[in-house]
Structure formats: C-alpha cells, structure tokens
Amino acid sequence: KAGVTQTPRYLIKTRGQQVTLSCSPISGHRSVSWYQQTPGQGLQFLFEYFSETQRNKGNFPGRFSGRQFSNSRSEMNVSTLELGDSALYLCASSDRVSETQYFGPGTRLLVL
Amino acid sequence: GQQVMQIPQYQHVQEGEDFTTYCNSSTTLSNIQWYKQRPGGHPVFLIQLVKSGEVKKQKRLTFQFGEAKKNSSLHITATQTTDVGTYFCAGLAGTASKLTFGTGTRLQVTL
C-alpha cells in the first residue's frame, strides 16, 4: 500500500496570507490527524477527522481549520499567517480514531 | 488537559552504552504508543502497549507500561548509530479521545 502523501512539501508565504495543505491517507484509512511540529514545542495536535467529521481538536486558534472529503483526503487551512506559524505540518492516518498513526513526510511552511 | 512529559529531553551516549527514556502522563492511559523520528524524517510507529505492567521487546528495544498506566519507558540496550533520532511516546486517555504526544527525547549516539 502507498503511504501517506502530503502536498506541497515546502512552502514559503508572507505574513497575512493564507495557506492550504493537502493530505492523502493510506488507502482504507478513514481517520486523518494533523500535527504541528516546531523545535521548541514538539508535536502539537491540531485536529482529527474521521469519516468527514471532526472528532478531536487541539488548542489552536480558529485561524487553523481543516476538513475531510468523502474519499478521506484531508485539507488543512491556515488563514492570516503569522511568523510563529512557521513549522513542519504533519498529517497522519489511521484506520480508527486515535489508533496507530502513520505519518506522511510533512509540509515545511516558512512564513516571512 | 492531559499532559505527557518525557525525560530526558536529550541524551548523548557512546555507541554500545544503554539508553532509557521515561514517559509520564498526568492522567491514566488506556494505551501508550511509541514512535521514532530520524533527523529530517517523520515519526514512525514502533509499538503499542495496552495492559498494566506490560513489557514488550523488539530486538534491543524494551518497552514497559507502568502498573498504574500513567507511565512508560523505552530502554535500548547497546545503542548503535542507527538508533539516533527523537523518541516520542503518545498516550490515549480513553476511546475516542485524542492521542497526546510526549515532549520527546532526542538521542545522539557517537562512535
């Protein structure tokens, strides 16, 4: 089976812009979770979607949003980017909510 | 909310030495998972522990879940340079709750 894929892999944006990141889970997996990873804060959970419904949410501002499509693919959107949003954004899929996470390679976002 | 802490944050060992990282949760866990992230890579699942006091081994790696299901440890015997990376534990407080990752322990191994 193909692994989790994320696009784009690298992205440079400026403050105030918005960005959309995409994640395609492993075939058959219906749960997709998003994490933000920074050197100082480790792996921070953003949200989890299962069958197009948000099941869990982390402690991030409303500028961070996501959605999941009927084919389980997921997108994450960050509006009004801030410098502090620079990070590696990881997507992970699993076959059930909060089960073993299979991570994608991540999207590295740099906000200037 | 649930917090999962790991110690140490960083450890540097000589190849052949043993290494242990400890994971402590503020709440009782239904299960705990361990992941390894190589430099420049993404976290990769290693193992899941479910039962109180459970011990599992994978070659030189030994994983343990505490009796109270609030802590866990990962022990590596005779480290190798291939063990370099950051080790994360991740705890689940209950079904349908979110998986909370620990702060991670970065392991550096030198010859």
Is the Cβ–Cβ distance between A103 and A36 less than 8 Å?
no
Q: Do B98 and A43 touch (CB under 8 A)?
A: no
pLDDT given for residue B86 in this prediction? 96
With 90 as the cut, is the pLDDT of residue B96 above it?
Answer: no
pLDDT over 70, % of chain B: 98
Q: For all residues of chain B together, what is the average pLDDT?
A: 94
Instruction: Report chain B residues whose CB lies below 8 A from the CB of A104.
Output: 42
Nearest residue to A89 (alpha-carbon basis) of A20, A2, A18? A20
Q: Do A56 and B97 touch (CB under 8 A)?
A: yes
Q: Which residue of B has its CA nearest to A107?
A: B42
pLDDT given for residue B24 in this prediction? 96
Query: pLDDT digit string (tens) for A51-109?
Result: 999 998 999 999 999 999 999 999 999 999 999 999 999 999 998 876 899 999 999 99
pLDDT given for residue A99 in this prediction? 83
Q: Do B42 and A90 touch (CB under 8 A)?
A: yes
Query: pLDDT digit string (tens) for A23-32?
Result: 999 999 999 9
Torsions phi, psi for B82 (to 5 deg): -70, -10
pLDDT given for residue A71 in this prediction? 95
pLDDT given for residue B95 in this prediction? 65
Q: Residue A84: helix, strand or coil by DSSP?
A: helix
Task: Categorize the per-residue pLDDT at B99 as very low, low, confident or very high, splitting at 50, 70 and 90.
Answer: confident
How many angstroms separate the CA atoms of B6 and A42, rounded?
11
Asked if the C-beta of B2 comes within 8 angstroms of chain A's C-beta atoms, the answer is no
Asked if the C-beta of B3 comes within 8 angstroms of chain A's C-beta atoms, the answer is no
A34-61 average pLDDT score = 91
Tokens of residue A95, six digits: 């076959």
pLDDT given for residue B108 in this prediction? 97
Residue type, A10: Y
How many angstroms separate the CA atoms of B53 and A27, rounded?
34
Is the Cβ–Cβ distance between A2 and A26 less than 8 Å?
yes
How many CB atoms within 10 Å of residue A101? 26
Query: pLDDT digit string (tens) for B30-83?
Result: 999 999 999 999 999 999 999 999 999 999 999 999 999 999 999 999 999 999
H helical segments located in A1-112: none
